[in-house]
Amino acid sequence: MSADRPTSTTRRRLWGFLAALLVGIVATLGGCLAVFVGVHRTADAAHDRSVPAVLAVYDAQLALRQAHGAALASFSAGTRLLASPGEDYQNQIARAGQQLAQAAEDNAAGESGSRDIQVVEASVVTYTGLVERAHAYFAQDGGSVLGTATLWDASTLLEEILRRLDALGVKQIDALNGQTDGLWTSWEMTLLWLVPVLALLALLLSAQRFLRRRFRRQLNVPLLLATLAVVVMGATTAMSLWSANQLADARADTSQATSDRKVQLAALSARDSGGLATLLAAACGSPGCPDTIARVRGDASPAPAPTGSPTPAPAPSASSAATASSPGVTEAGARHGEDAARSAERAADSRAGEVVLLAAALFALAMVALGLLLRLEEYRFSQR
């Protein structure tokens, strides 16, 4: 009986190692795949929806502001345009429509975001109708008063549209924040794949030591290859950490891009306020409408009523006008938007990691089975 005890113990240990390693590889594959796929699906959603939606919302605001400025410029110049307030106005309105369509397609804010976009699109139709009506009045002799009043209505509606787009942009940013700070990108998820990988490597090392001690062999090559395959599984899954970091970079770049666009919007708003105030001053006549002009200009108190001929409202400050037309601000916004898109694209690129994980796991299973079954067969033969 004492001679049989070592034989039974060795055989049981070999079968135990085989079962534990096979189960461990399958469990490790499950954890690695879950985290890897979870992170990259999150990054895909940010790349395909959240980041483009955020940028599209603010680009739509810019296009609407620029269209309004183009309309104000054409009316202030007194140009008798036959078909519309100008080609620049038409181009910017078309661009705003494209950006709104893009935001609707990429919307990451759910039903609430979709409703906001529908309301904005309907409001833009109303706004363009008011601008076209103002153009019709300005095209008539003596129609500047009615044209300015209609343009005032259009400006008021535009501010409401832009406020709603602000709220929509915040919702899209919240969706991006939820993806960047979500469950799959948290550090806790690292434990789901790192702990099984380390445990499996320790088990493979323990099996190597047992085989070397029991069979007097320096190294079991199939188990060594299985160990390398497990290392590949861990390294491939570790790419999800890099993807999560790229997703954080995409959020930072998106935030910077939206800040650049807000600077442009503020400057364009100051410019447009000055243009509208000038039209109002010209249309009001004596004694003028100082309260309304002050509201448009954003003054703390209304300007005193003019005693003679209406005095045009001051133009926007040089710094505001310079900022509105500064190519540096525009280029910075475009550059940060491109950086955000590239970071999101890098985060979403899995580089066929799922295939690598499956292939490495299958290879490890085959090598473990080969390495231990050969030793079982060798042990059985040596006992005959």
Name 278's Cβ contacts closer than 8 Å, sequence gap at least 6.
76, 312, 313, 315
- Exposed, middle or buried, 213 (CB in 10 Å: 0-12/13-18/19+)? exposed
First to last CA, the chain: 17
- pLDDT score recorded for residue 255: 92
Phi, psi of 216 (to 5 degrees): 55, 35
Distance CA 154, CA 297 (A): 16
For the segment 242-295, what is each residue's pLDDT rounded down to a tens digit? 999 999 999 999 999 999 989 999 888 888 887 777 777 766 654 445 555 555
DSSP 122-142: HHHHHHHHHHHHHHHHHTSTT
Q: Helix or strand or coil: residue 316? A: coil
- Given this model, what pLDDT does residue 380 score? 59
Long-range own/partner contacts, residues 102-107 (CB < 8 A, 24 or more apart) = 102/52, 102/53, 102/56, 103/53, 103/56, 103/57, 103/60, 103/168, 103/172, 106/48, 106/49, 106/50, 106/52, 106/53, 106/56, 107/49, 107/53, 107/172
**CB under 8 A, 24+ apart: contacts of 320-326:** 320/267, 320/270, 320/271, 321/267, 321/270, 321/271, 323/263, 323/264, 323/266, 323/267, 324/264, 324/267, 324/268, 324/270, 324/271
Spell out, as residue ranges, where the chain has pLDDT lower than 70: 1-8, 77-84, 217, 282-329, 377-384
Ramachandran class of 373: left when φ > 0, alpha when ψ lies in -120 to 50, beta otherwise: alpha
pLDDT reported for residue 86: 80
Q: Contact at 8 Å (CB) between 84 and 139? A: no
pLDDT tens readout for residues 352-377: 999 999 999 999 999 999 988 877 76
**CA angle at 222 for the pair 239 and 37, rounded to the nearest 5°:** 25
The token pair that represents 227 in the structure block: 């160990």
- Measured CA distances, 239 to 225, 235, 247, 351 (Å): 22, 7, 12, 9
DSSP letter, residue 308: S
Residue type at position 347: A
pLDDT at residue 119, as a whole number: 96
CA distances from 194 to 139, 200, 366, 382 (A): 72, 10, 22, 39
Alpha-carbon span 46 to 242, nearest angstrom = 15
pLDDT at 301: 37
CA–CA separation, 2 vs 26, rounded Å? 37
Q: What's the pLDDT score for residue 247?
A: 94
Under 8 Å between Cβ of 157 and 126: yes
Q: Exposed, middle or buried by CB within 10 Å (0-12, 13-18, 19+), for 147?
A: buried
268 touches 66 (CB < 8 A): yes
CA 238 to chain centre: 22
Helix, strand and coil percent figures for the chain, each rounded to 5: 85, 0, 15
Structure tokens at 58: 């603010």
Evaluate whether 312 touches 278 at the Cβ level (below 8 Å): yes
Distance, in Å, from the CA atom of 363 to the CA atom of 371, rounded to the nearest integer, reads 12
How many C-beta atoms lie closer than 10 Å to residue 202's C-beta? 11
- Can you give the pTM of this predicted structure? 0.79
